Structure formats: structure tokens, C-alpha cells
Structure 1
């Protein structure tokens, strides 16, 4: 049975778990904010359900709870960031803040990040750049769970891409997508609950199409749009993994199963100060004009609105902030178990109205 909790209750609980697992309060708050951001946007596979595995890896010492994140400028606009095996959200937010600062000074910044870990939704970092008046693109590589087009072995990650731009008005323009048909975390969650998945999401370990969540978890997720998603995943691997000098493809550690090998995720951020473009201060207004033209186009049969990338997630965030976040029974049980393991206060039973 699921329960709905106020955001403040979940934030206090999560901060307690991560500080008990060894993080400084500021870093615990960063990880918590990242996970809550995902849940509020409706991406529960990257939300608070990740607390147990993030905290367990910290508790076991597989992830460095006190990283020294270093930023080196190898060119005026190019940053090399070493995360010192710190939590992905902590490393990535520091990298994004450095990239924004550089973009404001130079007009553009590219950040290549290594020695990091799973960093959650890219929208968490891209939104920060957008709020600073920047266009941003974020990429990350991931442990191998996806087959490349034509193959059946898990040789590459779902390698997500996030893109965002400043815009005036109410409709955001923020794309956040995996290069797979679906985020791997959704298959993991379906397997936990013993649920079926839609046809076309995955192959079992023998290379056969499956709708069984548990069989899919043991097999591979498929790239979106066949060769197109596969090609995008490869390009993300080049920018986020190969360029960063870290592990890539099959050499990465498994988030859930490997407690000896560090993940060494790589990320890549590109940040552009929108005020440096030809439109200068009119950029956000021009994007709003683009949005208005697109949303004003004639509707196809069966549709009642033209929605921009990120618009549904923005509406969910407003609603969830007011009503709270609903967690399924299995996630609540997992949260209770990890709190007991690290010695953190239990999740309060207070429910949202």
C-alpha cells in the first residue's frame, strides 16, 4: 500500500540518512534535493527510491563521503573536473556551478567530469544553468545495460541527454531523456514489484523480446528508435566517458551489484551564456515566441494541447510540492531498512493531506 508524505518530511528523512552515512550536511542536502527533484517531476526511478543504494555505497566506503572535487582549466573555456569518487550529485553540481561561472566570463564553457558516480536526472543541473540565463546540455554515461543496435549483449549504458534554455512565459523548454526506449531504473522498479513492462522495452538474457520485468532486468534494455538511439548513446559515451579519461562501456562498475569496483561515471556539460548570442538579452523572449508559434499549431486528432519538452514535468512539480510525494510500500520498506543500517531516524508516519 502506497503512502503520501509531505516534501519537508521526506527531505528531513533523506538528509538524516545521508549524514548518518557520512556526508557533510551541505552534501547530504545536495543529494536529497536531486532525488526529490526527480520524484516531483514524476521520474520516481531516479528519486527517493535511490536512497538505499546511494547510502549503502557510502556506508560501505565504495563512494567517497568526503571528496575533494578539483576543477582545472585546461583552456579558458574548458574545465576538467575530478570528482574524487564523490556522490554524483555533489560532483555534478560543483562542476555545473564552475561551468556557469566560466560561461558568464567567457561566453561558453565545456566541462569534462571524471571519477564521479550515478548523478540522477540531468535536469537538476541544467535547470541551475537555465536559471542563470544559460543554455545548457548535460550528458552522462552509465554502466552497461543496453545493447547497441543489432546486438544483444549489454555493452553500453542508457546514456541520457538533457537540454534546456531560458524562456520567458510559463512553458519550459527542457528535454531530459535516456537514449534507451526507457530509463533502466523503470525496469529495475518493475522487477522489484514483479510487474510486467510494455513490449519493446527489453530483451531477456537469451536475446528474446520480453514483457517480464524480472527477465528484462537480467537481460538488456533496447535503444530508442533502433539505430538512432544506439548512435546517440555511442556519442554520449565518447563525450562523457572516453573524453573524461574514466571508465566507459563494459568497464564501469554496476551500481546495484558491484561493491568492490568504483563506478567512475563520466559526465559532460556544455553551458552557453545566452546573452552572448546574436539576440543577446532578447533570447528568452525569442524562445517564448517560438513556443507560442508551436503551441498555436493545429491539433492532431486525439490531442488537446501541444506540449513543450519539460512542460508535463513542471506541472507535476507544482502539484507534488503542494500535495506531497507518494511512495509505494516496497520503497517505504527499503527506506526503513537503510535508516536502520546507517543509524538514521526512521521516516515519520505523518502523511500529506
Structure 2
């Protein structure tokens, strides 16, 4: 492992993405998000994604020169077009517009279409909590998970995120994929030659597997799939919110993120921003939130959502990121 300051890691990742064809703005937005994920201990969504994004940029699976634009708006609802580029700039624009709508109208709902992998979904909501607003986010991804009762990959792992501001305290940050684990964990295990636990994935024949490569070639299992269809039903809800409602591609219409060749995925992300001042009132919202948090912390062993990742992020800001030597060498080679 090598320790690298976050600013240097971000500059290296940005240079690698620009060398692959991303515009400076697109590369900077992506690099910042990936370094933030790495700092939070989320290696599956961190710098390990740079080589993947670079291949997609070179192969035309992501348009490195795309500029996100506001396609249309009606009232509190709007759609941002990512233009086939990396998702981060488009998601930032969507959240900014949703915050502006919420300030004016109490709520804002923004969809992002013609998009790509969006990294750690909850991180896109940080500007909302900084503005004292509640944020919810939904995203679909290339097909990796069967519908309830099925074996064929149909839905993505379809993350859901929420962010709740607190007065004078860290926000509550909630982020989960609707598969038993994020697919990126299989990617990391495959690179490191480690097996995965049973219950994470099925192989291409629909059989349980501990081989991450077989799982990547097969399908992920929804949350609680061994006992209930609830995880698959939640994935269906997110699939429709992030595609049919806003006009993005279904997961089964997108080539996997884990292959070099294929189409521009054209998937979607959706962000809902709510101003508590338009409902309970800002002061009442903050007061009631603290009542709940106090009750949670009164139970020994409870850890607040997002606390661990924010602690790790602060440690990384002070001490730097610990990056595997092989990955660091790969990033330096990509950066030229």
C-alpha cells in the first residue's frame, strides 16, 4: 500500500480520465467523486473504477466530450440529459436544480437520462443536506439481478440513498444497493482472487456460487432473496422510478459496466429534494430529528447511518489514501 494525499489522488485520477478522452470538467467531477468514495472506505466505488471508466471512454461507451444540459422542466419536475457521458456532472446539475425547485416550491424532483455509472449515490445528496434539505436518490444499472421467482438478470442492483440534515451535527447518510451486496464487491474480489460468500450471487446457470467471476457472468441475488421477494419488489420500484418515469434505459437494455465493449448504457438517476420548511417547519424538523437520534443512541451498540464513512473520510483527509501498489501503478500508466 502507498499513502497518497487526496488532492494528489484526485489529480492522478483526473489525468488518467483526460488521457482517455474525458473533458477536464468531466474528469474532475468523476475524480473528485471516486476519491471521496475511496476516502470513505468504499473501494468498490473508488479509484478501482478509473481503469473501467477509461476503457469506456476510449471505446465510446462513454462520451468524454458530453456536457450535461437541462432538457426540460415543468413546475418542480425536471430532466437533465447527461449526453452519454460520465454521470457526475449531470447528477450535480440535477441536484442543484432540484434544490432550487425545493426552495421555490417545497419539493424538487430531477431525473438524469442517458447516464452512466454514478458512483456512491448518497454523495450526490450532500449539497441538499448542506442546504438544510432532505434528499432521496434512486438509480438503475445494467441488468444483474432477477425479478422475483426468476433466474435471468433483468433489474440492476438499483441503489437507493437518503440524506437527512441535522442541526450542528453530521447528517444521516443512508446508501444501499438492492442486491445482497453491491456488484462492485464481486469485481474487487475477482481482482484479488478471493471467493465470495454463498448468498451473494448465482452463476450463469442460476446456481449459487462462491466464484466472483462466475457471479459477474451470472446474476446478483436481491436482498433477502433466500426468504422473501421483498428485495426484488423494491428493485422493481426503483427500476421504474429511474427509467420509465424519467425516460431512461432499462437495465436489460444496457451493456454491463464490467465489459469493455458494448453500448452507452443510457441508464437513469432520480433525485427528490424536500424542504422541511414547507412541511413541519425547519425548526420542528431539526428538533424532532434529534428526539429520534437520542432514542437511537440510548440503545448501546447503535451506530448512526453514515458515521463510519464520515470518520474514515476525515482520517483520509488528514493521513492520505492507502492505495494498493498495483492500482497506483495502473493509474500512473493511464495518466501517462
TM-score range, shorter chain: over 0.9
**1:61 matched to which residue of 2?**
60
Report the equivalent of 1:132: 131
Query: 2:278 maps to what in 1?
Result: 276
- For residues 77-107 of structure 1, the C-alpha deviation after alignment (integer angstroms, 9 at most, x for no partner) is 0102211112111111111111111111111
Unpaired stretches in structure 2, ≥5 consecutive residues? none
Query: What are the superposed Cα offsets for residues 18-53 of structure 1, whole Å, 9 maximum, x if unpaired?
Result: 233333333322111111111111111010111111
Instruction: Sort the Cα spacing of 1:90 and 1:259 in 2 relative to 1 into closer, same or farther, 3 A.
Output: farther
Q: Deviation per CA, 1:121-164, whole angstroms, max 9, x where unpaired?
A: 11221112111111010111000111223222211110000001
d(CA) in 2 for partners of 1:232 and 1:312? Answer: 26
TM-score when normalising by structure 1: 0.89
RMSD over aligned CA atoms reads 1.7
TM-score by length of 2: 0.93
Q: 1:348 is matched with which residue?
A: none
- 1:13 counterpart SS class: helix
Specify the alignment match of 2:172 in structure 1: 173
Query: Structure 2 residue aligned with 1:311, among 286, 307, 315?
Result: 307
1:236-260 superposed Cα distances (whole Å, 9 cap, x missing partner): 0000012222210311122232534
The CA distance in 2 between the partners of 1:173 and 1:54, in whole Å, is 29
Distance 1:260 1:153, change over 3 A: closer
1:294 corresponding residue in structure 2: 296
Contact 1:82/1:116 (8 A) holds in 2: yes
2:331 to 329, 332, 335: 335
Q: Report the alpha carbon displacement of residue 207 of structure 1 after superposing the two structures with TM.
A: 1.7
* Equivalent position of 1:19 in the other structure: 18
Contact persistence 1:172–1:308 (CA under 8 A):
no
Q: 1:213 to 1:61 in 2, by over 3 A?
A: closer
Q: Which moved more, 1:67-76 or 1:28-37?
A: 67-76
Contact 2:77 2:108 in 1 (8 A): yes
**How many angstroms does 1:334 deviate by?**
3.1
Higher mean alpha-carbon deviation, 122-131 vs 20-29, is at 20-29
DSSP-derived class of the 2:166 partner = coil
Q: Deviations over 1:251-288 (max 9, x none)?
A: 11222325341110111111111222223334223312
Per the alignment, do residues 12 and 249 of structure 1 end up closer, same or farther by CA in structure 2, a change over 3 Å counting?
closer
1:24-173 correspondence to structure 2 within 5 Å: 24-173=23-172
CA distance in structure 2 between the aligned counterparts of 1:281 and 1:17, rounded to whole angstroms: 46
1:253 and 1:312 mapped to 2: Cα distance?
33
- Measure the CA separation in 2 of the matches of 1:84 and 1:107: 29
2:187 aligns with: 188
| Mapped contact 2:69–2:90 kept (Cα < 8 A) | no
Secondary structure of 1:48's aligned partner: coil
The answer to whether residue 324 in structure 2 is matched with residue 322 in structure 1 is no
Q: Point out the more displaced range, 327-336 or 313-322.
A: 327-336
SS of corresponding position for 1:198: coil
Q: How many angstroms apart in 2 are the aligned matches of 1:333 and 1:242?
A: 41
Q: What is the SS of the residue equivalent to 1:269?
A: strand
Quote how far apart the aligned CAs of 1:169 are.
4.2
**Alpha-carbon distance change, 73 to 261 in structure 1, aligned in 2, over 3 angstroms:** closer
